[in-house]
Amino acid sequence: MVFKCQQDSFMREFQSRVLVCEKVSDPNLKNDGDRYEVILEDTILFPEGGGQPCDFGFLNDIPVKQVVRRADKAVHYVEKPLSVGDTVKQTINWERRFDHMQQHSGQHLITAIVDREFKIPTTSWWLGEEVSQIEIESPSFSQEQIQKVEDICNELIRSGKNVTVNARSARGLPNDHVGDIRVINIEDVDNNMCCGTHVSNLSQLQVIKLLHTEKSKRKGNTLLYFLVGNRVLKRLTNCLKNEQQLTVLLKCNPSDHANLVEKLQKNVKSLNKNLQTVLKELASYEADKLKKLVPQPKYYFLHKKEADPDFMNTFIREIANTDIFLFLSVGDEKTTGNIVLYGPERAVGDLGNQISEVLEGKGSGKGNKYQAKVNKMANRKKAEQISGMPSPKAFHVPRGVSKERKDAILNKLSKGIPFNTHTFWQDLPVSQTENDTCVAPPVTQKKEDEAEVGGLEDYMEYHRYLKEVVNALESDPDFRKKLEKADEHEIKSGKIAEELEFVSHHVRTRLDEIKRVELERLKQLMEQKKKLEQPNNSIDEDPLHNHLDHSNPHTFEIEDLKKLIAKTTEDLAEADKLRKEEFKQYELEKEYKKQEKLNHTNGEERATLEKQMKEMEEKHKKHERLHEPGHKAQLEEVWEEQDQMQQDFDPKTFFMLHDIDGNGLWDQEEVKALFIKELDKMYEEMERMRESVYKYMDRNHDGFIDFDEFIYQTKTNEFKEDHGWKALDEQKPYTDEELAEYIRQHHANNK
């Protein structure tokens, strides 16, 4: 039958009776909602066919999204059932239909012109959602041919040729053909059999734009793409939008877009090439820096955000030393990147998979090298620790300082350094010549007998016991956490000792053993003492050995820990007090000598001396302002003048630079060394400055500033402020009475 839509393709509404409504359960239905098949007496909704997709619309208010042809019937698929016999109102999605009419009639026209002008027949066509195409029997179709067809088509559209449908019955048609033959006639141009819906005049096509050609899958055929009517406008709107965006981005006229993009691409290429060269040079430079370290470190970590795996390979080639464990990484600081481990075969083999697991990556290794792609670069610090970063406090690996620097420290600072720590500086290895390298021991080697940091042993004879107890306790992860969280009061009052109850059995056993060894040491000490002392001397019950609980010689209990904490705190405070006292004496002596000098001169000489002193004093006052120690302004000065760094202040680099022995901690001497520059101005300030820095940086009061403590401080607002520093001139460590008493005593002694 000929449907209503074919008789009158411009009908947008129609009434028709329901003939059939059946429930279906075809799982291959396109839309989930197509649950009922409805056949009506007639329909304005076109059923898919002849290359034209079906119409969308409504039966009453029920949407139709699929209409198919079955024999001579159109089957509508709907969500809800309709009553057979009822008359329903059909409405059509006209926009979609009219678009299909434009494309379909346009196709007839293009096909007719291609055939007429070039004798090339069309074998099939496709109405796509955005672009349509015809397939023509020709291996190619030139730009000139395209232009000619487009021109003729548009000329015909302008001339407003009629399009008419002639339907007639015919005999001799194939069996599957149902109904009349429809012939679509374009006035003076074409007659074509077709079942589709068409415009009634070519002017309704508005315009035809042929786009481009493409080789068909069928050999010797070509696909020719085209747009008709509203699709041309839509495409133009999109093109203009893109063009505007490009104009904004490229900041040039649309006619220059292509040129500019070409230039940009060339630039990117050459920049990339340059970057590769620079990264290679950077790798060599970084490698040189490592090669010059004396002695050579055991571990070396390097991360470069901008670099690529080539960078790491160049670095490794330059180093060519498998004694150092290299942990190199490139890529984002937090997310994805690449790593390479290189070094002693055993260490690389042991650690490769462990490290890539921590970084949430995958990799493989062979011999001295392990490579991986990782997804969580943020865990790098954790991975570094796995790879054998020396455990804090346990030992340090001196890396050496330049002779100049060592001399400067010894000359300028020795007065300020407590006497008992002079050896630390005197013993620091000095990097001299390039031959003076020391081959690093294997990574896995234990370093139990390393020297102690900070010189505790000099004023705490029980330092080994203290160190072992702390190490044992810190091996218990829970206790360690509690210790980190505890505030100063909880530690100093010994309250933290009660947490010993929750420490694992294994750690408790270890502590018992440590105590037993310590008691044995004390016993031997007492015996030695007895031998040395005169027999008639009464034997002192050594009052100093109260760093553990002697009443219980068998196990390590809360009381032991409390006593150890109390004793340590007391001794540290005592050392601090002694230092302050030494300092005061030094200042008093200076002032005393000054006055003595004045007292032993007369007349003109005295006047000159007084004048000189006054000048000195003035000069001192005019001195460059001292910065608040450990705050940004002060550290920046060190960074620029002492470290000679050209780039902006970088806290990470700064920490590493001033961790002179490279043990991952700033010990007291290293912090003092930060003030060489300040002390050029007034070296006496150093101890007070050190104290001040510890006060606000050493958050867990363990006498060390670790990496986290430092970085934490650099992020506070306080860090950015600089309240200045009150120099000793303005703030004497002694009172006038104390000075008078000092002078009096000296005079008494001299008599």
- For Zn ion, the binding residues in 543-582 under the rule CB under 5 A are none
Span of 113-121, 192-200, 222-230, 548-556 interacting with Zn ion by CB under 5 A:
192-200
Q: Is the separation of the CB atoms in 397 and 352 below 8 Å?
A: no
The residue of the chain with the least Cβ separation from Zn ion equals: 194
CB of 116 to Zn ion, least distance (A): 17
Span of 194-202, 243-251, 560-568, 739-747 interacting with Zn ion by CB under 5 A:
194-202
Nearest 10 degrees: Cα torsion 410, 412, 417, 421? 0
Q: Which CB, 182 or 399, lies closer to Zn ion?
A: 182
**What 3-state DSSP class applies to 445?**
coil
What is the spatial distance between Cα 443 and Cα 346, in angstroms, rounded to a whole number?
9
Q: Is the separation of the CB atoms in 474 and 483 below 8 Å?
A: yes
CB of 152 to Zn ion, least distance (A): 19
Span of 190-198, 235-243, 373-381, 733-741 interacting with Zn ion by CB under 5 A:
190-198
CB of 194 to Zn ion, least distance (A): 3
Would you count residue 355 as binding Zn ion (CB under 5 A)? no
Would you count residue 418 as binding Zn ion (CB under 5 A)? no
Q: Which CB, 49 or 63, lies closer to Zn ion?
A: 49
Name residues whose C-beta falls within 8 Å of residue 160's C-beta, 6 or more positions apart in sequence.
201, 202, 203
Question: Please, what's the b/e burial string for 608-642 (b: 16 or more CB within 10 A of its CB; e: otherwise)?
Answer: eeeeeeeeeeeeeeeeeebbbbbbbebbbbbbeeb
Span of 29-37, 188-196, 275-283, 346-354 interacting with Zn ion by CB under 5 A:
188-196
**Per-residue string for binding with Zn ion, 373-392, x by CB under 5 A?**
--------------------
Q: Which CB, 104 or 579, lies closer to Zn ion?
A: 104
CB of 196 to Zn ion, least distance (A): 4
Name residues whose C-beta falls within 8 Å of residue 159's C-beta, 6 or more positions apart in sequence.
202
Would you count residue 106 as binding Zn ion (CB under 5 A)? no
**What 3-state DSSP class applies to 724?**
coil
Task: Say if strands 325-331 and 222-228 run parallel, antiparallel, or are unpaired.
Answer: unpaired
Tell me how crowded residue 167 is: count the other CB atoms within 10 A of its CB: 12
Q: Which CB, 196 or 662, lies closer to Zn ion?
A: 196
Cα angle, residue 613 at apex, residues 611 and 616 outer, rounded to 5°? 110
Q: In what order do the strands lie in the sheet with 299-304?
A: 299-304, 325-331, 337-342, 369-374, 361-366
Would you count residue 165 as binding Zn ion (CB under 5 A)? no
Would you count residue 205 as binding Zn ion (CB under 5 A)? no
Q: Which CB, 196 or 229, lies closer to Zn ion?
A: 196
What is the spatial distance between Cα 224 and Cα 133, in angstroms, rounded to a whole number?
5
CB of 237 to Zn ion, least distance (A): 28
What is the spatial distance between Cα 88 and Cα 82, in angstroms, rounded to a whole number?
9
Q: Which CB, 196 or 344, lies closer to Zn ion?
A: 196
Terminal alpha carbon distance of the chain: 142
Q: Which CB, 194 or 665, lies closer to Zn ion?
A: 194
CB of 176 to Zn ion, least distance (A): 17
CB of 156 to Zn ion, least distance (A): 17
Q: Which CB, 184 or 483, lies closer to Zn ion?
A: 184
CB of 129 to Zn ion, least distance (A): 18
Would you count residue 224 as binding Zn ion (CB under 5 A)? no
Span of 13-21, 189-197, 407-415, 705-713 interacting with Zn ion by CB under 5 A:
189-197
What is the spatial distance between Cα 372 and Cα 338, in angstroms, rounded to a whole number?
6
Q: Which CB, 201 or 313, lies closer to Zn ion?
A: 201
Among 18, 21, 88, 194, the residue binding Zn ion under the rule CB under 5 A is 194
Q: Which CB, 181 or 293, lies closer to Zn ion?
A: 181
Question: Please, what's the b/e burial string for 280-313 (b: 16 or more CB within 10 A of its CB; e: otherwise)?
Answer: bebbeebbeebbeebbbbbbbbbbbeebebebbb
Q: Which CB, 46 or 556, lies closer to Zn ion?
A: 46
Q: Is the separation of the CB atoms in 439 and 485 below 8 Å?
A: no
Q: State how far Cα 177 lies from the chain centre.
A: 68
Would you count residue 196 as binding Zn ion (CB under 5 A)? yes
**Per-residue string for binding with Zn ion, 581-610, x by CB under 5 A?**
------------------------------
CB of 52 to Zn ion, least distance (A): 7
Tell me how crowded residue 259 is: count the other CB atoms within 10 A of its CB: 11
CB of 222 to Zn ion, least distance (A): 20
What is the spatial distance between Cα 291 and Cα 473, in angstroms, rounded to a whole number?
38
Burial class (CB in 10 A: 0-12, 13-18, 19+), 230: middle
Q: Which CB, 194 or 456, lies closer to Zn ion?
A: 194
Span of 195-203, 291-299, 456-464, 537-545 interacting with Zn ion by CB under 5 A:
195-203
Kindly give the residue spans of alpha helices, DSSP state H, lying in 292-330: 309-319
Three-state helix/strand/coil letters over 92-153: ECHHHHHHHHHHHHHHHHHHHHHHHHHCCCEEEEEECCCCEEEEECCCCCCHHHHHHHHHHH
Does 295 sit behind a cis peptide bond, omega within 30 degrees of 0 on the bond before it? Answer: yes
Cα angle, residue 696 at apex, residues 695 and 701 outer, rounded to 5°? 55
CB of 140 to Zn ion, least distance (A): 25
Q: Which CB, 54 or 194, lies closer to Zn ion?
A: 194
Span of 186-194, 368-376, 598-606, 731-739 interacting with Zn ion by CB under 5 A:
186-194
CB of 110 to Zn ion, least distance (A): 12
CB of 202 to Zn ion, least distance (A): 15
Q: Which CB, 196 or 454, lies closer to Zn ion?
A: 196
- For Zn ion, the binding residues in 452-511 under the rule CB under 5 A are none
Beta strand ranges found along 278-389 (DSSP E): 299-304, 325-331, 337-342, 361-366, 369-374
Beta bridge mates, 341: 327, 370
Name residues whose C-beta falls within 8 Å of residue 578's C-beta, 6 or more positions apart in sequence.
418
Span of 191-199, 347-355, 570-578, 677-685 interacting with Zn ion by CB under 5 A:
191-199
Q: Which CB, 196 or 455, lies closer to Zn ion?
A: 196
CB of 242 to Zn ion, least distance (A): 33
CB of 49 to Zn ion, least distance (A): 10
How big is the site for Zn ion, counted in residues (CB under 5 A)?
2
Residues comprising the chain, all counted: 751
Residues that bind Zn ion in the complex, under the rule CB under 5 A: 194, 196
